[in-house]
């Protein structure tokens, strides 16, 4: 099993759409970034890449590349899903938190879960999304920005313990009584 943590933050500005969890949310401000600046998906991707030991989204989707300018983070999340598949990792669960004073995130969580679960091909029971404010404190509290955290648990076929059925190859694991 492998655990990963991701964190992302973006500044709120005028003239941008607010997209969180792959869902456009009605608001007077949007998040500033090279892509669509979806803090939730960015945190989730960083947690998944971190659990695999493969760096972060900046390594895989650098903001110096024009192809990622204004790209939907759902497209990037799908690329991370492909990386998971290529490396034989299975998502056990993802637990994420969005921190925003405004707008209220809770009414959008079910739709966010649909988008993320569809993109990662996981069931809703494998994804938990929470939202909180910071009671007017800090950059999220004064509505300067929005942040998100994500923690995930992955399993890998490659990390699975190999047990030989041939007793001459057995090393006496705790799963049986044979000592070869």
CA distance 166 to 115: 46
- 134 in a labelled binding site: yes
Distances (CA, A) of 175 to 46, 88, 143: 35, 24, 54
CA distance 83 to 77: 10
- 8 in a labelled binding site: yes
- 139 in a labelled binding site: yes
Domains of the chain, earliest start first: 2-157 (3.30.1330.50)
Task: Report the Cα–Cα distance between both ends of the chain, in Å, rounded.
Answer: 28
- 70 in a labelled binding site: no
- Asked if 127 and 160 count as a contact pair (C-beta separation under 8 A), the reply is no
How do residues 41-56 score in pLDDT, each as one tens digit? 999 999 999 999 999 9
- 175 in a labelled binding site: no
- CA torsion through residues 27, 31, 37, 39, sign: negative
How do residues 10-41 score in pLDDT, each as one tens digit? 999 999 999 999 999 999 999 999 999 999 99
Minimal CA–CA distance to 91: which of 60, 40, 47? 47
- 42 in a labelled binding site: yes
- 14 in a labelled binding site: no
* Confidence at 70, pLDDT banded by 50, 70, 90: confident
- 56 in a labelled binding site: yes
- 34 in a labelled binding site: yes
- 125 in a labelled binding site: no
How do residues 102-153 score in pLDDT, each as one tens digit? 999 999 999 999 999 999 999 999 999 999 999 988 888 889 999 999 999 9
């Amino acid at each position: 099993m492998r655990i990963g943590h991701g964190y992302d933050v973006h500044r709120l500005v005028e003239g941008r759409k607010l997209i969180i969890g792959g869902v456009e949310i009605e608001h007077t401000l949007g998040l500033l970034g090279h892509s669509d600046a979806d803090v939730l998906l960015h945190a989730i991707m960083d947690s998944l890449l971190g659990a695999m030991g493969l760096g972060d989204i900046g390594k895989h989707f650098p903001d110096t590349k024009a192809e990622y300018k204004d790209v939907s983070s759902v497209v990037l999340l799908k690329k991370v899903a492909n990386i998971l598949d290529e490396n034989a990792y299975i998502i056990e669960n993802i637990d994420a938190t969005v921190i925003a004073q405004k707008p209220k995130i809770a009414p959008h969580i079910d739709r966010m879960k649909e988008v993320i679960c569809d993109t990662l091909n996981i069931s809703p029971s494998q994804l938990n999304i929470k939202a909180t404010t910071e009671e007017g404190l800090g950059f999220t509290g004064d509505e300067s920005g929005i942040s998100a955290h994500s923690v995930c648990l992955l399993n890998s076929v490659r990390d699975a313990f190999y047990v030989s059925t041939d007793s001459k190859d057995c090393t006496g694991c705790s799963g049986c009584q044979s000592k070869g």
